Amino acid sequence: MITVHHLENSRSQRVLWLLEELGLPYELRRYARDPKTMLAPPALRAVHPLGKSPVIEDEGRVLAESGAILEYLAERHGGGRLLPPAGSEAALRCRYWLHYAEGSLMPLLVMKLINSRIVPGSPTLIRPIARKIAEALQNAYQEPNIKLQLAYVDQELGKHPWFAGEDLSIADMQMSFPLEAALARAAKPGQYPNIASFVARIQARAAYQRAAAKAGPAQPLR
């Protein structure tokens, strides 16, 4: 039995979605964030030294990192589903977006989240200075780069309905979290229509909805 260690409002939502798409049985163990720090609880360190989620246990293995988990589950238990044929153009696209999600897009969104907390978390006397620093970082680096990345993703989704091409793949699970976060925190209504359409499609899927019902709807970057 696959065990998923699921932290609320986290990347593990996409692991649950994959398991539901594949129809695999699994045990779900939920963990709540610290209400003040929003960090994972110490109990997760008993599962994996980094104490983060997602983490799964399967056949005596403990696996972390959502992209690695998605690949492992699809290869070992997927029976060829949600993985494009090896060596195909779709397989290359799938691999690219698996890495892009956490390598290019998520760091910018996390930086934006952290930057938004600098001023409220600063002592009152230095808040004017902290505000200027935060605004300078946002205007000079964060916003231009986030817009560049999201415009690129939106353009790519205008070529194909799914990230690997014409069929749903694990790349779509991997990209779901940053794009939901981007729509919630970094985009104006109607600014990226293809991204909005993609998010609407995935959220309408029965497997996605089953995962959300079991773990609670994802509310990333809060």
Q: Any idea what the CATH number is for the domain that residue 11 is in?
A: 3.40.30.10
Task: Please spell the DSSP secondary structure of the chain, one letter per residue.
Answer: -EEEEEETTSTHHHHHHHHHHHT--EEEEEEPPPTTT-PPPGGGGGTSTT--S-EEEETTEEEESHHHHHHHHHHHHSTTTTSPPTTSHHHHHHHHHHHHIIIIIHHHHHHHHHHHTTTTTS-GGGHHHHHHHHHHHIIIIIHHHHHHHHHHHHHHHTT-SBTTBSS--HHHHHHHHHHHHHHHHT--TTSSHHHHHHHHHHHHSHHHHHHHHHH-------
pLDDT at residue 35 tops 90: no
For residue 220, what pLDDT is reported? 46
Same-domain status, 6 and 112: no
Same-domain status, 75 and 101: no
**Final residue of a domain: which of 62, 83, 104?**
83
Distance spanning both ends of the chain, measured CA to CA: 32
The answer to whether residue 183 sits within a structural domain is yes
pLDDT at residue 218 tops 60: no
Average pLDDT, the chain: 89
Q: Which domain holds residue 103?
A: 89-212
**Final residue of a domain: which of 83, 103, 129?**
83
pLDDT at residue 221 tops 50: no
Which of these ranges, 15-19, 71-75, 128-132, 162-166, has the smallest mean pLDDT?
A: 128-132
Same-domain status, 77 and 157: no
For residue 217, what pLDDT is reported? 53
